Amino acid sequence: MKTYQDFLKAKESGGLIDFIKQAINEYKDSPVYKVALDADDYEAERNVTIMEFFRVVFTVSGDAVPDFTSQNLKTASNYFHRLLTQRVAYSLGNGISFASAEQQKVNGKTVSVDTTKEKLGKQFDTILYKAGKFARMHGISFLLWNLDHADYFKMTEFCPLWDEEDGRLKAGFRFWSLDWDKRPVIVVMYEPDGYTKFQTRKDSKGLDIVEVEPKRGYVQQVAHTEADGDTIIGESNYSDIPIVPLWGCSAHQSDLVGMRGKIDIYDLINSGFANDVNECAEIYWIINNAMGMTDSDVAKFRDRIKFQHVAVADMDNSPVTAHSQEIPVTAKETLLNRTRSQLYEDYGGLDVHTIAAGATNDHVDAAYQPMDEEADDFEYQIIQAVQGILALLGIDDVPVFHRNRISNKTEQTQMVLMAANYLDDETILKKLPFITPDEVPNILEARNAAVAERLDNDEGDEE
């Protein structure tokens, strides 16, 4: 792993281009990078293990060769995508807000105004959701502050350079290409004092890059005149490199690391189940008085039976008896269900099939407890990353999450109404499960206006 100190030494010695090539190539060959590529396949339901699986038979000499005579159906499960999406959507599906948000009058209506959120841009929730998903999938992603909005880098397209002394991100190379072997490769070098763009030479192979845009600051001041058009009159940078790492969990690793073995077991058992059903039964034959047959003769006899469903045998001296084994349905279904349950339990996911219809909120909360604990760890990583972006803008604030969960709304509503005599109107509305926090001010305002109008009408009737 190349570090920021290695990067500084390469710049001083004049070997920057060679350093960039070596750093990116070593990064792409690292174990964590290969795990991230596998995670992309599992998330797309192209489970690597089951897709590369094939049955083998052993020759007389003991060599393993592919068994082309057996069924090789492959069914890949979608559990990695399902559980990954569940965990990310639970914390970020409803977006985030900030503790500094307050109620203000806008165009005669009371609305919640979140000035911190407005400074981060309209697409911040979308960017944060995508960055969070790739952080869980790959182990880490990177948030970039680009003047007036945020963007993100996947781990598979950004080579970080960590400081050897404090472990912080000090520089990095973003690299991408439409086709690594046939199309140009673009590399952008990010440093605390600006960024530089490189590109591979035309018709070159590998990372034969040259500088195509010199270093420039992250913020440029531009003046426009009718005669000269746009002219750069100054540049500036942030207090630190405007890239913040977002870790997926405190273990700093991909979620696939813990889930892969169980997903592979499930896929292999499920695929084997389908193969057994397709072959109807596991059938074998015993030939009596056939000790004179060579291994080649036995193999030919088996192949003819399997493919042509007929074979010639001396039934008087060498009778053939067919035997069959029933598919162990119960054992395989038990293993599939156990593996599925273990996937949800170890990952801390919510298996909705474990919540009975009409379950009380106590049962729902108990089912959500493992997921809440895992979400606490994930949201801690998000808070650190978001506050890193806010520090670049000189803002001191704390993100607030709105977890996306189910509940027994009837029971929750009844509890609120039972306590209504001890609560004010605003608290009651905020506690009701079918009313969002943004709707509360408008409901209160409309309700107060209706009460005032009714009082005016009552006074008119009395007069």
The per-residue DSSP string of 115-166 comes to HHHHHH-TTHHHHHHHHHHHHHHHSEEEEEEETTEEEEEEGGGEEEEE-TTT
Domain with 417, as residue range(s), is 408-463
Q: What pLDDT shows up at residue 119?
A: 93
Residues 226 and 147 in one domain: yes
pTM of the predicted structure, to 2 decimals: 0.79
Kindly state whether residue 343 falls inside one of the protein's structural domains: no
Q: Mean per-residue pLDDT for 331-355? A: 86
- What pLDDT digit, counting tens, does each position of 124-140 carry? 999 999 999 999 999 99
Measured CA to CA, the distance from residue 254 to residue 377 in angstroms comes to 14
Residues 293 and 202 in one domain: no
Q: Mean per-residue pLDDT for 101-114? A: 71
Residues 13 and 114 in one domain: yes
Measured CA to CA, the distance from residue 49 to residue 30 in angstroms comes to 20
Of the candidates 304, 325, 346, which is a domain's last residue? 325
Kindly state whether residue 180 falls inside one of the protein's structural domains: yes
Residues 181 and 304 in one domain: no
* Residue 301: band (very low, low, confident or very high) from pLDDT cuts 50, 70, 90: confident
Q: Mean per-residue pLDDT for 42-59? A: 79
Token pair 């298996």 in the structure block, residue: 351
Kindly state whether residue 370 falls inside one of the protein's structural domains: no
CA dihedral 186, 191, 195, 201 (to 10 degrees): -30
Residues 205 and 104 in one domain: yes
Q: Mean per-residue pLDDT for 211-232? A: 80
Q: What pLDDT shows up at residue 418?
A: 84
Q: What pLDDT shows up at residue 48?
A: 87
Q: What pLDDT shows up at residue 31?
A: 94
225 pLDDT higher than 80: no
- What pLDDT digit, counting tens, does each position of 72-92 carry? 677 888 999 999 999 999 999
Residues 58 and 206 in one domain: yes
Kindly state whether residue 18 falls inside one of the protein's structural domains: yes
Between residues 185 and 429, the one the model is more confident about: 185
Comparing CA positions, the residue from 191, 210, 193 lying closest to residue 202 is 210
Measured CA to CA, the distance from residue 423 to residue 421 in angstroms comes to 6
Domain count across the chain: 3
Residues 308 and 447 in one domain: no
Residues 6+ apart with CB under 8 A from 306: 69
Q: What pLDDT shows up at residue 160?
A: 97
Residues 164 and 312 in one domain: no
Measured CA to CA, the distance from residue 163 to residue 12 in angstroms comes to 17
Could you tell me what percent of the chain has a pLDDT over 90?
A: 44
107 near 344, Cβ under 8 Å? Answer: no
Residues 6+ apart with CB under 8 A from 322: 283, 284, 285
Kindly state whether residue 452 falls inside one of the protein's structural domains: yes
Q: What pLDDT shows up at residue 296?
A: 79
Residues 95 and 222 in one domain: yes
Tokens of 277: 């059903």
414 pLDDT higher than 60: yes
* Residue 123: band (very low, low, confident or very high) from pLDDT cuts 50, 70, 90: very high
Q: What average pLDDT is seen over the chain?
A: 84
Comparing CA positions, the residue from 137, 136, 91 lying closest to residue 368 is 91
Measured CA to CA, the distance from residue 88 to residue 383 in angstroms comes to 14
* Residue 325: band (very low, low, confident or very high) from pLDDT cuts 50, 70, 90: low
Measured CA to CA, the distance from residue 262 to residue 340 in angstroms comes to 8
Kindly state whether residue 374 falls inside one of the protein's structural domains: no
Residues 445 and 302 in one domain: no
Residues 153 and 290 in one domain: no
Helix axes 329-347, 79-92, angle to 10 degrees: 30
Kindly state whether residue 335 falls inside one of the protein's structural domains: no
Q: What pLDDT shows up at residue 12?
A: 94
Q: What pLDDT shows up at residue 459?
A: 66
Q: Is the dihedral of CA 111, 115, 117, 120 positive or negative?
A: positive
Residues 227 and 312 in one domain: no
Q: Mean per-residue pLDDT for 159-179? A: 95
Between residues 330 and 290, the one the model is more confident about: 330
Measured CA to CA, the distance from residue 89 to residue 368 in angstroms comes to 14
Q: Look at strands 149-154 and 158-162 and give their pairing.
A: unpaired
* Residue 109: band (very low, low, confident or very high) from pLDDT cuts 50, 70, 90: low
234 pLDDT higher than 60: yes
Measured CA to CA, the distance from residue 439 to residue 443 in angstroms comes to 6
Q: What pLDDT shows up at residue 331?
A: 80
Q: What pLDDT shows up at residue 451?
A: 78
Of the candidates 325, 341, 376, which is a domain's last residue? 325
Q: What pLDDT shows up at residue 88?
A: 95
Q: What pLDDT shows up at residue 326?
A: 66
157 near 174, Cβ under 8 Å? Answer: yes
As beta bridge partners, residue 140 has: 247
Give the three-state DSSP class for 53.
coil
Least confident of 149-163, 172-186, 237-251, 420-434: 420-434
Measured CA to CA, the distance from residue 381 to residue 399 in angstroms comes to 11
Kindly state whether residue 380 falls inside one of the protein's structural domains: no
Measured CA to CA, the distance from residue 260 to residue 194 in angstroms comes to 40
384 pLDDT higher than 90: yes
Token pair 């509503």 in the structure block, residue: 413
Of the candidates 247, 274, 309, which is a domain's last residue? 247
* Residue 323: band (very low, low, confident or very high) from pLDDT cuts 50, 70, 90: low
Between residues 245 and 71, the one the model is more confident about: 245
